[in-house]
Amino acid sequence: MASYVIRGARPLQGEVSISGSKNAALGIIPAAMLLDGPCRIENLPDIADVNILLEICRSIGAQVLQHPDGSVDIDPRTIETSEATHEKARSIRASYYLMGALLGRVRKATLFMPGGCDFGTRPIDQHIKGFEAMGATVGIEYGRIRLEAERLAGEHIFLDVVSVGATINLMIAAVKAEGVTVIENAAREPHIVDVANFLNTMGANVRGAGTDVIKIVGVPVLPGGCTYSVIPDQIEAGTYMLAAAATGGDVVVRNLIPKHMEPLTAKMAEIGIALEEGDDWIRVLPGGERAAANVKTMPYPGFPTDLQPQTMVLLCLCEGVSRMTENVWESRFQFVDDLKMMGANVTTASHTAIVEGPVKLTGATVTAHDLRAGAAMVLAGLAAEGTTEVCDVRIIERGYENFVGKLRALGADIARVEP
Ligand code: EPZ
């Protein structure tokens, strides 16, 4: 398994450009399978999850041509099966958006039950509730989920839980259903808006994305034939902002949407990190006192759960006692033991972590438990005295394009080593 070796305690300096949003791309690519024509998607991040999802689309017959500039030409008219059971589909959770896409396209879909990072149980009951409301029958056997609908009809669906995945999956399925679908208690993340904007660019009629009520008027044909560019990655941007703050660096994070960063910029300002903001960039400045703060993860526009581990690293370096509450996932503190090996003073109980600081982080050999926890271990290594080895980094490379290259360009002493 590949590792990163980091020699820390070097303030990051310079500029970093943010890539396309992983979680938008993972919704847009399956949505493209609905089209009755070709499309071009630009600004896709070159990360494992995107490349695997494109491979899965090829495996069901879609034409997928990737270009070196990160754009891809897709033509789903050659799809020849509703069974997306490519072995790699087991490895990425987002393949489950093909349920909505294939139901919408051919009224049938068969996939493996989804996996994904381990944050405790990750049910899909809300997806199934919505599909059944629209007329699909859903069966689960031998680890596969089979959906079929004589007729897919628009429905008024009230989600019991604010779910990004269910919101996107049901929105995709509703685009070519008969009649009007309303999704209440919908998630509002920026990547949901991006998937809706992609669908509308291709001829769909989706209104209200970004609010908690999304209305989709089904259309018989989705012509496509257009080009769409994926928004910048909110979580990648936040990761670099936190890396700059944790190392006391001076970094301009470019090609981001400041509005999407507000939950983080507000919290960083509360801690005492000096920030400057432009149209599409945020500069994190060094100096200033760093005071403890309380953080509660919530669905957007609340504080993103996907920045929770990375933020906890910064809280370790802040003066006082901070409280981190994880409200989205059942269990997302697995990385804390590794952080404590580096000198962190964190006590966890159920959904809350108490962080006492400031501590001096020191290098150790740690593991990337999941995508964002792995990124947090890198941030801790960048801040720590001495050498840190982060093992099993492939999980990080599922979601961060050119992570080592971008950090080295900021002056980090980091190298990727194969055993
Ligand atoms: C998406 O996961 C993201 N993944 C996750 O980011 C992110 O942590 C999460 O949204 C929350 O923002 C992608 O977009 C590919 P949910 P998703 O459905 O859709 C419960 C990353 O690091 N729930 O919003 O799987 C669920 O258990 C990844 O990029 C149900 O109960 O998350 C959780 O407690 C990690 N029933 C809460 O809702 C359901 O049917 C939020 O889950 C669905 C979800």
The partner residues of 325 in beta bridges, in order of sequence, read: 296, 352
Which of the two residues, 94 and 339, has the higher pLDDT score?
339
pLDDT at 287: 87
Cα–Cα dist 219/182, whole Å: 15
Spatial contact of 224 and 212, defined as CB atoms under 8 Å apart: no
pLDDT at 320: 98
Ligand 1 centroid from CA 164, angstroms: 6
pLDDT at 122: 78
H or E stretch at 245:
helix 234-246
Torsion angles phi and psi, residue 162, rounded to 5: -75, 105
Ligand 1 centroid from CA 334, angstroms: 17
What's the pLDDT band for 419 if we cut at 50, 70, 90?
A: confident
For residue 230, give the DSSP letter: P
pLDDT at residue 113 greater than cutoff 70: yes
**Mean pLDDT on 70-93:** 91
Per-residue tokens: 361: 């982080």
pLDDT at residue 116 greater than cutoff 70: no
CA dihedral sign of residues 73, 38, 111, 166: positive
pLDDT at 117: 64
Q: How far is CA 385 from CA 242, 318, 388, in A?
A: 18, 16, 9
Is 398 a pocket residue for ligand 1 (Cβ < 6 Å)?
A: no
Is 157 a pocket residue for ligand 1 (Cβ < 6 Å)?
A: no
Is 239 a pocket residue for ligand 1 (Cβ < 6 Å)?
A: no
Q: What is the pLDDT of residues 221-264, one digit of tens each?
A: 999 999 999 999 999 999 999 999 999 999 999 999 999 999 99
Ligand 1 centroid from CA 299, angstroms: 9
Nearest alpha carbon, ligand 1 atom 9: 164
Cα–Cα dist 227/73, whole Å: 9
Q: What is the pLDDT of residues 145-203, one digit of tens each?
A: 999 999 999 999 999 999 999 999 999 999 999 999 999 999 999 999 999 999 999 99
**Mean pLDDT on 369-386:** 97
Ligand 1 centroid from CA 355, angstroms: 25
Q: What is the pLDDT of residues 262-288, one digit of tens each?
A: 999 999 999 999 999 999 999 999 988
pLDDT at residue 88 greater than cutoff 90: no
Q: Which domains does the chain have, with CATH numbers?
A: 3-15+233-417 (3.65.10.10), 23-229 (3.65.10.10)
pLDDT at residue 121 greater than cutoff 90: no
The partner residues of 181 in beta bridges, in order of sequence, read: 216
Cα–Cα dist 211/209, whole Å: 5
Burial of 87 (0-12, 13-18, 19+ CB in 10 A): exposed
117 flagged as catalytic = yes
- The reply to whether the predicted model has a pTM over 0.85 is yes
Burial of 419 (0-12, 13-18, 19+ CB in 10 A): exposed
pLDDT at 257: 98
Torsion angles phi and psi, residue 154, rounded to 5: -55, 145
Spatial contact of 84 and 95, defined as CB atoms under 8 Å apart: yes
Ligand 1 pocket test, candidate residues 99, 161, 191, 395, most atoms within 8 A of CB: 161
Nearest alpha carbon, ligand 1 atom 21: 306
Nearest alpha carbon, ligand 1 atom 10: 164
Is 397 a pocket residue for ligand 1 (Cβ < 6 Å)?
A: no
Cα–Cα dist 181/216, whole Å: 5
Residues in the chain, overall count: 419
pLDDT at residue 336 greater than cutoff 70: yes
Residue type, 414: I
Torsion angles phi and psi, residue 356, rounded to 5: -105, 135
Ligand 1 centroid from CA 286, angstroms: 34
At 194 the three-state DSSP class reads helix
Is 165 a pocket residue for ligand 1 (Cβ < 6 Å)?
A: yes
pLDDT over 70 for what percent of the chain? 99
List all residues 6 or more positions away from 191 whose beta carbon is below 8 Å from its beta carbon: 21, 23, 24, 27, 164, 168, 231, 234
- Nearest atom (ligand 1) to Cα of 93: 15
Q: What is the pLDDT of residues 20-29, one digit of tens each?
A: 999 999 999 9
